[in-house]
Amino acid sequence: MNQITLREALRDAMAEEMRADPNVFVMGEEVAEYQGAYKVTQGLLEEFGSKRVVDTPITEHGFAGLGVGAAMGGLRPIVEFMTFNFAMQAIDQIINSAAKTKYMSGGLIKCPIVFRGPNGSAARVGAQHSQCYASWYSHIPGLTVISPYFASDAKALLKAAIKYDSPVIFLEHELLYGNSFPDEDKEVEIGKANIVTEGSDVTITTFSLQVRNAIKAAEELSKEGISVEIIDLLTLRPLDRETIINSVKKTNRLVTVEEGWAFAGIGASIGAIIMEEAFDYLDAPIINIAAKDVPLPYAANLEKLALPQVEDIIKACREVCFRSK
């Protein structure tokens, strides 16, 4: 099977949608002339011109608001944030202007906008440039939050997001842009999780970069006789509760893995849902793997220690499966 990098898959998704619908356009810092801060939008300016691929000044609040207005006016903007750390500058536009308007207008005003960009850690970029915003945006009714891992999922979901009539937060990961994945065309429904590997002893729910760690952990654990089922959440809001619950009913054990911090995080929410809806199926407490409760360190060794590693996942799975001899 052919391989494709994540950045190429994302670019292809945007290009295909831009070809199909003249109302789709991209804007953000460095997306046009520079071919994208991470080269995700490479080649788009050449194909679609400067009216459809728009360089913005360094004013997130400004161009986010501009995008929301454009969406409400009938266009379908893709707004790129250089990282979602910078989107905090624009968060009022994202939450109050984009997310809540359909509800507040009784459904009359729709806002078909996609906010996309890298989320979470990079390599030694310091605390202010490394936060994971998955739980912040997943908290808001009115937003759809997507965070894929595999390139094929990313492409399918970005296309679906562009076609979607409500605001979508599309969380990518800088450390994955250059990774090659199998190139396959597939349809992925927003709101459906994917079972990456099937297992019978413990369920891992995770998303984005941590999927890679989960897969490595599962390989190691299978040598110890622990069979791991990995669920790639794909869409964080709305969460595919059914897939998770069915999996826990099968394995009776759950380990949630995320890059963000534990408190008020994705894992905490999943844990609460499972405790409420699958209580009688739990044979062990749910363990939540998350970043250590500190702003992410800058030093490489500390950064590694602060973020979830494969070993943490392995230990957690062993713990929930523990039986004394």
Partner 1 sequence: MPIKILMPALSPTMTEGNLVKWHKKVGDKVKSGDLLAEIETDKATMEVEAVDEGIIGKLVVEEGAQGVAINSVIAVLLEKGEDKSVLDAMDFEIPKPTVTETNLEVKAEPASIVNEEPKTQFTSNSNNSKEHIFASPLAKRIASDQNINLNNVLGTGPHGRILKADVLASSKSSTSSHEGPIVRIAQEYKTIANSNIRKVIARRLSESKQNVPHTYLSIDCNVDKLLELRHDINHARSADVNAVRVSVNDIIIKAVALTLKQVPEANSAWTDEAILQYNNIDISVAVSIDGGLITPIIFNADQKSIFTISKEVKELAAKARAGTLKPHEFQGGGFSISNLGMYGIKQFNAIVNHPQSCILAVGANIPTPIVKNNKIEIANILCVTLSSDHRSLDGAMSAKFLQSFKEIIENPVRLLLGY
Q: How far is the CB of 261 from partner 1 (least distance, A)?
A: 24
Contact flags string 254-293 toward partner 1, x per CB under 8 A: -------------------------xxxxxx---------
In angstroms, the CA 325 to CA 35 distance is 59
CB of 250 to partner 1, least distance (A): 12
| E strands, 56-161, in order | 76-80, 114-118, 144-146
Q: Find how far residue 238's CA is from the centre of its chain.
A: 12
Distance (Å) of CA 203 to CA 127, 140, 150, 219, 277: 31, 26, 19, 14, 16
Tell me, by CB under 8 A, how many residues bind partner 1: 12
Tell the smallest beta-carbon distance from residue 150 to partner 1 (Å). Answer: 32
Nearest distance in Å: CB 247, partner 1:
14
CA angle 24–26–31, rounded 5-degree value: 160
Which residues are 230's β-sheet partners?
197, 204
Could you give the dihedral angle defined by the CA atoms of residues 262, 274, 233 and 157, in that order, rounded to the nearest 10 degrees? -120
Which of 108/279 has CB closer to partner 1?
279
Binding partner 1 (rule: CB under 8 A), the pick from 1, 107, 223, 323 is: 323
**CB 229 to partner 1: min, Å:** 16
Residue 40 or 221: the one with the smaller Cβ distance to partner 1 is 221
Distance CA 226, CA 169 (A): 35
CA distance 124 to 107: 43
The pairing of strands 53-55 and 76-80 is unpaired
Q: Give the whole-angstrom CA distance, residue 231 versus residue 204.
A: 6
For partner 1, which is the closer residue by CB, 114 or 228? 228
Q: Cite the active site residues.
A: 60, 129
| Interface pattern 218-257 for partner 1 (x via CB under 8 A) | ----------------------------------x-----
CB 117 within 8 A of CB 80: yes
Site string for partner 1, 176-205 (x = CB under 8 A): ------------------------------
> Would you say 51 or 323 has its CB closer to partner 1?
323
Binding part of the chain for partner 1, among 54-62, 141-149, 255-263, 316-324 by CB under 8 A, reads 316-324
Nearer to partner 1 by Cβ, of 187 and 280: the residue is 280
**Alpha-carbon distance 255 to 321, whole Å?**
11
Report, in Å, the least distance between residue 275 CB and partner 1: 9
Q: Which is nearer to partner 1, 179 or 227 (by Cβ)?
A: 227
Residues forming contacts to partner 1 in the complex (CB under 8 A) are 252, 279-284, 319, 322-325
